[in-house]
Amino acid sequence: MPSAKPLNESAICDVLSAPRSTTYITAVGGDKAHAMELYGWNARIAAAFMLPSHFAEITVRNAASEAIAATYGPRWPWSTGFERALNPPKSRAYDPQRDLIETRKRHTTTDKVIAELKFKFWQSMFTARHDHRLWNRYILTLFPNAKGMTAAQLRHRIYDDLEAIRTLRNRLAHHEPIFTRNLEDDLMRMLELVELRSTPTLDWVCAMEDVTSILAERP
């Protein structure tokens, strides 16, 4: 469904705040009506991205948890060997070891821990430090549709895709503009992550997602 045209763009701009509205007004050369149409479209496309983003994250984190469980056992969140493999970063960057320790304090089952670990945790699993223990052995099996790629190439590609998705998700979470991004590329990354794991799941996601149709309606 195309965005509804704003009936009183000045009133809407006041509600949204001048700094927020100005981003859109500037982008369309000063036309407030056009700016509010773009704002509405941005909100719609942001909402639509939640579905493919959901499936991309679930696909990757479940694959990663399978690899971790195959190496450290089904109770891997409480494995001291796995905990040691998550050496804290030297800088003040995100600490996957701390995330794991704090999350497992609040839950008693592996499934609950999986669901509560941060997106960044799963992305951090696709770094070279885990090649020897996890990915050299399991990644090509867990992502069987990655043709013509080595384990290291696939792991690196997944990390890069997750970084792009994480950046987009952060903007979505803070209701920030995404209309300047290459949204076609963002969608493709999500869909291809699902496809690497399961073609039937990709087909289902493609049948449900609305991003493609909303992209075509950009004002």
The pLDDT value recorded for residue 10 is 81
Per-10-residue mean pLDDT, the chain, length 219: 68 81 89 91 96 98 98 97 86 87 96 96 95 96 95 97 96 94 98 98 98 96
The pLDDT value recorded for residue 2 is 56
Has residue 66 been placed in a domain? Answer: yes
Domain interval for residue 129: 52-166
The pLDDT value recorded for residue 9 is 76
Has residue 82 been placed in a domain? Answer: yes
**Residues 146, 105 share a domain:** yes
Has residue 120 been placed in a domain? Answer: yes
**Residues 20, 3 share a domain:** yes
Helix H, strand E, coil C: the string for 79-135 is CHHHHHHCCCCCCCCCCHHHHHHHHHHHCCCHHHHHHHCCHHHHHHCCCHHHHHHHH
Are 95 and 87 within 8 A, CB to CB? no
The pLDDT value recorded for residue 143 is 98
Has residue 110 been placed in a domain? Answer: yes
